[in-house]
Structure 1
Amino acid sequence: MRKIDALYIPLLAILIYLLYFTKFSSIFLPPIFLIAGCFVLIKGSDFFVEASVAIAAKLGMSEHSVGITVVAFGTSLPELAISGIASYKGYTDTAWGNVIGSNVTNILLVLGVAMIISAIKPSRFAFKDAMSMLLVSFITLLLALDGSLQIFDGIILIAFYIFFLLALRGRSAEEEMKVKLSSPLIIFAFLAGLAGISAGAEAMIKGAVEMAHYLGITEVAIAASIVALGTSLPELSTSAVAAVKKHHGIAVGNVIGSNIVNLSLVLGLAAVIRRINIALLSPAILFFIVATVLTPLMLRKKAMKKITGTILLILYIFFIISLYWL
């Protein structure tokens, strides 16, 4: 077991104790909750995905089938946990701010970094998937024109996610997978992952809300910046490594796929849980529209150069500034 893995279980135990079994309060606790919660959430998601893939393989599912179901779902587990729990607890600004902020971060920061590392050559499916992302973005904004997303709106978004999965069928050949993990280890990883996702998300929400109160800033600003950056760290590391290894399809597909899941499944589920009021004229929504429209335009080119990545990073800096000073 790697050293970073060895830290996971004791940190998870401490986090659960602080969250559920103590009333200890300090001005330093919110940032600790954010940082520790982010680590536990991401590591818990990693355990959960690995265990889920192993379980699916034992059930005889193919690699492609697992990829478009379990893994696609798993890459957005941090956003799903944060927005779902936030909606359930009534922190609806955190719920939608995290989704919108994560999508902006994925395009401007994650894709920007990937482009700077290596001039990206989009795959033949990239533009089509980007148009799907643009479509679900348009549907989301259309449903939110009355200033809110309600149960029926959430059902529509979840239905889009299901249709998107069905549309992905047949893109790659079916290959049977081999499982290297033992059954007890799979069960342990599955349960440890679920516990980490729950406790990590709870800690990040608690830290974000309390920091907003201490600093006198909005929940949306914290959710769309700090929380969104935390939940986008898996996408950032995946796309960066993919760019270094010249796996451009993964670098781009990771961003687009994650954004589609965030808007359809994550935001849809949050809206089903509780009505979400959305400030359509906020800077977060403005940058969300700009970033989403730019994506298919960039992917129409045969190669996305480093200068484009630099421009995206500059836009990301302006995005962060707008959340706190506009």
Structure 2
Amino acid sequence: MPIVRLSGTIEGKNDPNRETRARMLYQLFASGWDIYNSNGDQRITLSNIEKKVVESDAFVFMPGATLEDLFKAVSIFVGYQTLDEYLFGKATVILNSDRTWDPMFGLLDRLRELGTIKQDYRGFLLQAGSPESVVGSLERVHEEGLPDVERKKIMTCDTDSYELEYSGDLLANICVFCSASLRDPSYLEEGYELGRMLAAGGYGCVSGAGTTGVMGEVVRGSVEAGGWTGGSNVPHIIELEGLPKGLTSFWLKPDIYTRMEVMIENSDAFVVFPGGAGTVQEMLALLIFRQMGSRLMAQKTIIIFNRPLPDGGGFWDPLVQMLAPWAQSGFFQVAESLSEVMRIIGTQVSK
């Protein structure tokens, strides 16, 4: 029988989502699905999420969206975008009957308007208003499949991890989370400038090791300024995007979750540059680690570069608003210019 993974947790007999979950369980079981996490008592972490994806045939997210739920849903969408073979043909349905998922959908809408998300997420993260309609959506994907993400592989991955010698002194390593698809010239110029400023300031630059978009420009800026530049990527994304030249250190990982983990481990601070769904995923991972008190995030600064937009507001306004329920004071800082980003790094980050 096919297996569906159900998200969410139930907090005792008075939990308002208990009845909805019971209806969902009945609908799924009656329709021929076996159910993982039926009681809402399983936790998914960076270390086990890939295994959970592999062993499941579909995913259903329940009302009462938590930070972990948002991370998992966005991660699945990123997997669809990057042609993750373990997600091929698997449906994801979000039961949004309490509207707690609206901030995430609003953020994805805004990123699509700004051009950092090319695919229409609605074809991959299907919304439902009732448990009965969830089952209908699962069946529709089973019959019709998922949309084409319209991406093609450009190479085969024949690289491995490596470490080259670097003779310079580093004050700290700064990880830049950004988009590999954003091609607006002004963003590309600022990406290059950030990489150059980090190298000039004596900071190493960690990235997702992409060749295109802002990610490619950040790497190029650091490399051309003589900086130490480290990065991590996975085989199926390398086959889509290639690898940049000039990296001092490269860490090949089997999946996007261990990729994030090694980037976090090798960084002393983080700059969340304008980006797409992958950048949102990375910011959510940072916040989850920060909430957990993980050693990986101990004393590490998070800076959201909320670049002002021509029509007013900032690029990441919807992200900051979405994170508000979980972002305790000091969890992250917001900067509106590269000079402010560098000022925060200079005053708060050191090895």
Choose between structure 1 and 2: higher strand proportion: 2
TM-score (norm 1): 0.25
TM-score (norm 2): 0.24
Greater Cα radius of gyration, structure 1 or 2? 2
Higher relative contact order, chain-length normalized (CA < 8 Å, sep 6+): 1
